[in-house]
């Protein structure tokens, strides 16, 4: 090859290298700009939604304290149901699908109107004020998602970016209420599509959750945590016992979800009028409360969860909580199912765990995360939840319990909008049976 030909070849290679280098630099600059954009937006959404989440936390706490101080408020539950239905009808919402709407918004199927936030805020507070059996995380996801979606709409974001903002809002609200930012971020990434995480929103979700939890801490909202009295040593026997409890918690999770869905269907068949449905449902919960002789099953039941983790629970408590929650939410009251699932898991584990040879306190804590995993189909979030609620001790056993519950709980769950992408038993895409 002549000197001139070699020179041309070298020039060609240099030009190609320059072209590739410029393209790589352009890509890195684009990624850096994207990072800067989402750092700013995640902080903005995290702080804004976190502030609303703190207000919601205080509103629910105020409603709970007032209900406990004034027991007669329970008898206003049917009236509260009428007010909730009226609020939604005035806002033009004829059929509220709850958290499913938020999941569909992340999937890009439906818009998430801003009015969802004030509606669910007021309705959930009314539910807790008058003794409906409900949580608050479902409301938090809707509050955070709708606020973030409204921000994206005002700023002219694309549909794809608005979906990411909805994830940020969900993570921020969840984190502000529970003080569990890692679980909050991972849950919002994991819950939409089972088997596939929404990795594009990984940075924004974590940053918004952390911003919200820092703000909540500064404003006096303490993180949710429980002290487990005794952890079993990691042995072959404790592993088998954990697997057995994981299987039973999966069955409890299936029963929980079936109870929620059955109540919705039954109310729908018996009462086409939403006002009548809410009034009758509220009345049934009032009567059941009087018959049970306790107020343990009204509201979220945080005290009962704490007692179960301490090693004390009534054997039938988990069944009554499922019944009370299904009758409350099925009638149209608002809040959420996750904390009731904690109640169910804690009391169930506390009672069943010792029969398997596990310490009651540890079994109750395992029941919380294993039932949560079974109802949401979110194993990674559930493992992180165990870390944030109970600390790092026993993490391996918690992971096994959650994994078993995830596998055995099947392909149902709390949210009908949740998409099953991959099989739980084979490395292939999930094919729904006809």
pLDDT at residue 183, as a whole number? 95
Structure tokens given for 229: 């009295």
Angle between helices 137-154 and 116-129 (to 10 degrees): 160
Residues 317 and 246 in one domain: yes
Q: How many CA atoms lie within 13 A of 393 on its CB side?
A: 11
Residue 75 forms part of a structural domain? yes
Spatial separation of the C-alpha atoms in residues 417 and 332, rounded to whole Å: 18
On whether residue 10 sits in a domain, the answer given is no
CA distance 99 to 138: 6
Q: Where are the beta strands (DSSP E) in 34-173?
A: none
Is 202 buried (19+), middle (13-18) or exposed (0-12) by CB count in 10 A?
Answer: middle
Q: Give the structural domain span for 270.
A: 236-420
Assign 434 a pLDDT band (cuts: 50, 70, 90): low
Tell me the pLDDT tens digit for each residue of 43-55: 999 999 999 999 9
Same domain, 65 and 200: yes
What is the per-residue pLDDT across 298-346, written as a single tens digit (0 to 9) for each? 999 999 999 999 999 999 999 999 999 999 999 999 988 999 999 999 9
Closest CA relative to residue 221, chosen from 40, 51, 95:
51
281 and 136, same domain (yes or no)? no
- pLDDT single digits (tens) 298-308: 999 999 999 99
Same domain, 201 and 243: no
Taking 70 as the threshold, does the pLDDT of residue 367 lie above it?
Answer: yes
Same domain (yes/no): 325, 281: yes
Task: Please indicate, yes or no, if residue 429 is contained in any of the structural domains.
Answer: no
Determine the Cα–Cα distance for residues 233 and 388; give it in Å rounded to an integer: 20
Report the alpha-carbon distance of residue 242 to residue 233 in Å, rounded: 11
Instruction: Give residue for tokens 């709850």.
Output: 98
Domain boundary among the residues 160, 188, 218 is at: 218
Task: Give, for 420, the enclosing helix (H) or strand (E).
Answer: strand 419-420
DSSP, res 2? -
Q: Is 365 helix (H, G, I), strand (E, B) or coil?
A: helix
Q: Domain check: are 171 and 135 in the same one?
A: yes
Q: Residue 62 has what pLDDT?
A: 95
Entry pTM: 0.91
- Token digits of residue 322: 């499922």
Are 210 and 241 within one domain? Answer: no
Query: Do 198 and 270 belong to one domain?
Result: no
Query: 341 lies in a domain?
Result: yes
Q: Which of 189, 218, 247 is the last residue of a domain?
A: 218
Higher pLDDT, 251 or 152: 251
Distance CA(332)–CA(279), nearest Å, equals 9
The enclosing domain of 89 has a CATH number of: 1.10.3080.10
The pLDDT of residue 24 = 58
Please report whether residue 124 resides in a domain: yes
- Is residue 202 located within the same domain as residue 292? no
The count of structural domains within the chain is 2
């Amino acid at each position: 090859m002549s000197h001139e030909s070699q020179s041309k070849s070298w020039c060609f290679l240099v030009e190609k290298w320059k072209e590739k280098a410029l393209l790589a630099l352009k890509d890195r600059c684009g990624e850096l700009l994207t990072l800067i954009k989402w750092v700013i937006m995640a902080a903005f959404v995290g702080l804004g939604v976190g502030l609303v989440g703190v207000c919601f936390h205080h509103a629910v706490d105020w409603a709970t304290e007032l209900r406990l101080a004034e027991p007669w408020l329970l008898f206003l539950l049917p009236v509260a149901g009428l007010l909730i239905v009226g609020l939604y009808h005035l806002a033009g919402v004829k059929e509220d699908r709850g958290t499913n709407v938020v999941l569909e918004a992340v999937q890009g199927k439906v818009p998430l109107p801003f009015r969802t936030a004030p509606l669910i805020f007021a309705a959930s507070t009314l539910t807790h004020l008058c003794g409906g059996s409900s949580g608050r995380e479902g409301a938090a996801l809707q509050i955070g998602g709708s606020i973030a979606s409204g921000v994206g709409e005002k700023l002219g974001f694309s549909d794809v970016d608005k979906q990411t903002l909805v994830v940020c809002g969900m993570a921020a609200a969840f984190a502000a209420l529970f003080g569990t930012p890692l679980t909050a971020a991972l849950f919002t990434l994991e819950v939409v599509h089972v088997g596939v995480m929404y990795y594009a929103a990984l940075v924004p979700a974590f940053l918004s959750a952390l911003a919200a939890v820092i703000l909540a801490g500064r404003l006096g909202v303490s993180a949710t945590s429980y002290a487990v009295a005794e952890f079993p040593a990691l042995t072959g026997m404790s592993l088998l016992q954990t697997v057995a409890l994981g299987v039973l918690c999966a069955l409890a999770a299936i029963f929980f979800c079936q109870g929620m869905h059955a109540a919705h269907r039954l109310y729908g068949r018996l009462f086409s009028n939403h006002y009548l449905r809410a009034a009758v449902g509220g009345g049934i919960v009032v009567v059941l409360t009087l018959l049970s002789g306790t107020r343990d099953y009204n509201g979220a039941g945080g005290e009962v969860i704490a007692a179960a983790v301490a090693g004390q629970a009534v054997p039938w408590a988990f069944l009554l909580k499922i019944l009370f929650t299904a009758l409350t939410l099925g009638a149209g009251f608002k809040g959420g199912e996750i904390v009731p699932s904690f109640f169910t898991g804690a009391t169930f584990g506390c009672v069943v765990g010792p029969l398997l040879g596990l310490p009651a306190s540890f079994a109750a804590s395992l029941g919380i995360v294993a039932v949560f995993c079974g109802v949401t189909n979110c194993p990674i979030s559930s493992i992180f939840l165990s870390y944030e609620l109970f600390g790092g001790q026993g993490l391996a056993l918690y992971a096994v319990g959650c994994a078993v519950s995830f596998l055995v709980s099947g392909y149902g769950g709390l949210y009908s909008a949740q998409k099953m992408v991959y099989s739980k038993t084979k490395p292939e895409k999930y094919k729904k049976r006809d």
